[in-house]
């Protein structure tokens, strides 16, 4: 089964959480919008699902994943679908519900990270909401980020198969997402994250262990991995990055 991933071609964004799962599993997939439009791919192929007047079940936004006739939207929903099929989710129902719950909580944090630089409107430039971004990021740095990281660190420490993974004794898609979260936060807020590292050793270690998994390391070194940049969720504005 070939998976077709549809996501904006020039950013990691929310699509990256799906890419990491597909890469770790060595899945057969195409990153549609990054392929040439003359081959029926590219942005026209992506936009067809959003704008097509006859799509019965249109996604609201990328990423979406096409699997045969099925088109699945919403990042956490895609990962929930892929998890068992790629060997990246627990077998028991309770474990799957818990894994999905963690992914949804991570999605909430990702939304808040986006809003640090776009607190007023995603359709406006950062430059048009710089003052508000400064206020929102101060609260993010002092209140919201520690609350979320405390939570995820605690989840890791309380996993009875202690110390290695977020859920159970094996890697799941949530571990890959935690890797991406920590990598992105380090890109966006290097000074802040250097200061926080000692408090969240479990999460930082998990990041490091994911980064050296053979398939992830190969992916990160490849051209398939888009670099962090100033159009994505994680953006580095030095004026927003202060140590706690």
Give the residues lining the site for a copy of itself (CB under 8 A): 55-60, 70, 72-74, 76-77, 80-81, 94, 97-98, 100-101, 104-105, 108, 111, 115, 119-121, 123-124, 129, 132, 135-136, 139, 143, 148, 151, 154-155, 158-160
How open is the CA angle 184-211-35, to the nearest 5 degrees?
70
Shortest distance in whole angstroms from residue 54 CB to a copy of itself: 8
Helix (H, G, I), strand (E, B) or coil at 70: strand
Q: Which is nearer to a copy of itself, 169 or 211 (CB)?
A: 169
Q: How far is the CB of 170 from a copy of itself (least distance, A)?
A: 16
CB-nearer residue toward a copy of itself: 41 or 86: 86
The residues pairing with 50 across neighbouring beta strands, listed in sequence order, are none
Q: How far is the CB of 162 from a copy of itself (least distance, A)?
A: 11
Please, which residue, 27 or 104, has the CB nearer to a copy of itself? 104
Least Å distance, CB 134 to a copy of itself, is 10
Q: What is the CA radius of gyration of the chain?
A: 18
- Shortest approach of a copy of itself to residue 77 CB, angstroms? 5
205: tokens are 């270690």
| CB 216, min distance to a copy of itself, A | 26
Closer residue to a copy of itself, CB minimum distance, 39 or 57: 57
Q: Please state the separation of Cα 112 from the chain's center in Å.
A: 13
Helix residue ranges per DSSP H, 71-212: 75-86, 93-117, 130-139, 145-158, 173-188, 190-196, 201-211
Burial class of residue 240 (count of CB atoms within 10 Å of its CB; 0-12, 13-18, 19+):
buried
How far is Cα 220 from Cα 116, in angstroms, rounded to an integer? 26
Residue (24 or 115) nearer to a copy of itself, CB: 115
* Euclidean distance between CA atoms 152 and 147, whole angstroms: 9
Looking at the Cβ atoms of 13 and 226, the one nearer to a copy of itself is 13
* Angstrom distance (rounded) from CA 62 to CA 64: 5
Task: Specify the residue, 228 or 232, whose C-beta has the smaller distance to a copy of itself.
Answer: 232
106 near 114, Cβ under 8 Å?
no
Residue in this structure with the two tokens 């000074």, named with its chain if needed = 191
Q: Are 78 and 100 in contact (CB under 8 A)?
A: no
Quote the least distance from Cβ 106 to a copy of itself, whole Å.
10
């Amino acid at each position: 089964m070939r998976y077709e991933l549809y996501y904006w071609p020039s950013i990691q964004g929310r699509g990256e959480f799906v890419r990491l799962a597909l890469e770790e599993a060595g899945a057969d997939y195409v990153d549609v919008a990054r392929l040439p439009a003359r081959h029926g791919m590219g942005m026209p192929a992506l936009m067809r699902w959003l704008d097509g007047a006859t799509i019965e079940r249109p996604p609201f936004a990328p990423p979406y994943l096409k699997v045969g006739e099925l088109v699945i939207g919403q990042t956490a929903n895609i990962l929930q679908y892929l998890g068992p099929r790629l060997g990246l989710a627990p077998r028991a129902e309770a474990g799957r519900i818990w894994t999905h719950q963690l992914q949804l909580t991570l999605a909430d944090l990702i939304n808040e990270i986006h809003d640090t630089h776009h607190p007023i409107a995603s359709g406006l430039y950062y430059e048009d909401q710089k003052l508000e971004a400064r206020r929102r990021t101060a609260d993010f740095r002092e209140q919201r980020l520690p609350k979320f990281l405390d939570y995820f660190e605690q989840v890791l420490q309380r996993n009875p198969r202690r110390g290695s993974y977020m859920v159970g004794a094996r890697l799941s898609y949530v571990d890959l997402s935690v890797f991406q979260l920590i990598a992105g936060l380090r890109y966006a807020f290097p000074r802040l994250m250097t200061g926080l590292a000692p408090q969240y050793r479990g999460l930082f270690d998990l990041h490091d262990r994911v980064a050296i998994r053979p398939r992830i390391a190969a992916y990160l070194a490849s051209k398939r991995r888009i670099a962090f940049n100033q159009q994505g969720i994680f953006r580095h504005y030095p004026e927003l990055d202060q140590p706690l």
